[in-house]
Structure formats: structure tokens, C-alpha cells
Amino acid sequence: MFDLNKLKKIEFILFDVDGTLVNDAGEIGERTKQLVMNLKKLGVNFSFASGRLHSALIPLAEELKLYSPMISLDGTVIKSISEKNFVYRSYLKEKHVKKAIELSEKYMVNIALCHNDAIYFTEQNSVIPKLMEKFGAPYKEVESYDNLTNSTLELVFAGDNRPAVAYIRDKFIFPFSIGTSISFFRSQTHESIYYLEIRRSGSSKGKAMKRLLKHLNIQEDKTAVLGDWYNDISMFESKALKIAPSNAISELKNKADLVLKKSNNQEAAAEFLEELLKAKMS
């Protein structure tokens, strides 16, 4: 059940995007759009906390007319549409980027460099746009990575040779890996494809949420977060009101204050926003 008193306190809402706010076709439901507009009139503000690149969030923010800074690349970047300055960004050390490129060439595993504006790949890694699951991201082919090593936010290895990808992961270990965060996992949609993602340590959606709330001078207990996946768990370990759609992983549902009846394909976000609107107007 929805706690009326908690709902009345909510001033700010952070949406995870894929699997939560948008349906599997990447669309925001019409009812959700209307409710966001209605709640904005009542003083509620909104933003995103997504694994997408910042540039891939801009069209959605424009669709909902959102202006608060957005969390992208799972907390690696906090930046708004209208501001040129970053609230926060976390570049990988150049030595880590160069080492990753060297390993990818040696063991013939595809690699891409994720920057704020695009995902970069070379001709040698031309299958990257087909393999990667970065929704809405622009991809740019470059002749070389040489001029891109000092402003990389995330490295992504992708390939069907699990032992090779795992071997690179093992090469990227202590003490060389100090200062990095490493994730190794199998694709949800591409059978037999494995990914290795490397970011600078200290970045997560949960930490980014705290940074953003401090920047906006908003208290955690006046915030609601909606998410469905493993990268949302850190946000669900906060004082915010935690909302999970029916399609969320069980680990997230166990931490949620509310588990919605609807999935992302049924406008789960609207289910929550309707109750929030009722509370605000009561």
C-alpha cells in the first residue's frame, strides 16, 4: 500500500530509464507524460539515473521538459542539458585506457571507448554497434583511439570468446586495477556475447544520487527512486522512497518500499505517479 504521508513529502523523482520508465520499444507512455506534467505544476521535479550516455538521455528529457541535471553512465556523469559545466564526471586514468586497448588487440576482443557525447570504435572493432546494449547512444567510427584516451568515461569489451574476455578481466586485476570498477557479465539479448565494463571507482547510481541531491539541496527522504536492475541497487540502499516495477529483479524488489503491479510495458511509472498525484492533491 502507498503511505500517504511519505508521498506528500516527495519533492524529487529519479527514474531509471530502460526497463523502468520506457517500454521495451524505448517509448514513454502517454499517461506517464501527462502525470509528469501535472506533478511538475505541483512543484515535483524529475530527472534520470541511467546506464545510458548523457547524449542518449537528452531526447527523453526534452520530451518530458525536464531541466534538472541527469545521472548517466551509471553515475559516472552528472550533467544537465542546458549547462555546459558538469556537476560531476569521472574519467578513467589514461594508463588504464591504454592498457585496455593493448589487451584488446593482443587477445582479439572488441573494445569501445565511451565518452560523454558518443561511443567510439575503430574499423577493427566495427561490430561494436551491433554487439553493445547502450540504448540510444550515438556511435562514431574513428581511425585510431590515440586522441581519445584522456577523456574516456567507460571502457567496454564485447565478444563471444568468453575465455578471452575473462582473461582480459583477470589481467586487469590488483595492483594495476586500483582506482577502477570492473563488471563482467553475459548479454541479456545477444546469445553467447560477454561484456567487460571498466569505469573509474567511486561511481555508482547511489553515489551519484547523493551528489545530485546535495547539488540541488534536496533531502533523501523527500526523494523517490524507480528502478528495475542490478545497477539500481545502490539507489535502493538510501533513505529515498524506493519503487520497483513488477519486472524488476527479486534483489531489488526485496529492498523496495513499493513493488508495483505493472511492468515497464504497462506504464508502471504511471501507476506510482497516479498515487503521488492523489496524495499531493488531498
* Domain ranges across the chain: 4-89+203-281, 94-200
- Could you give the 3-state DSSP secondary structure of residue 65? coil
Contact 1, 241 (CB under 8 A): no
Which option is the CATH number for 94-200: 2.30.110.10, 3.30.1240.10, 3.40.50.1100, 3.40.630.30? Answer: 3.30.1240.10
C-alpha cell at 86: 558538469
C-alpha cell at 88: 560531476
Q: Is the pLDDT of residue 85 over 80?
A: no
Give the predicted TM-score (pTM) of the model.
0.89
Average pLDDT taken over every residue of the chain: 93
Q: Is the pLDDT of residue 83 over 70?
A: no
Q: Residues 190-199: what's their mean pLDDT?
A: 89
Residue type for 198, please? I
Q: Is the pLDDT of residue 189 over 80?
A: no
> What superfamily in CATH does domain 4-89+203-281 come from?
HAD superfamily/HAD-like (3.40.50.1000)
| DSSP H/E element including 12 | strand 12-15
The pLDDT tens digits for 30-45 are 999 999 999 999 999 9
CA within 13 Å, CB half, 154: 29
Contact 264, 245 (CB under 8 A): yes
Q: How far is CA 186 from CA 10, 73, 108, 157, 162, in A?
A: 37, 18, 18, 12, 9
Q: What does the pLDDT read at residue 1?
A: 63
Q: Residues 53-82: what's their mean pLDDT?
A: 93
Q: What does the pLDDT read at residue 14?
A: 98
Q: Residues 234-246: what's their mean pLDDT?
A: 97
Q: Is the pLDDT of residue 133 over 80?
A: no
Q: What does the pLDDT read at residue 137?
A: 83
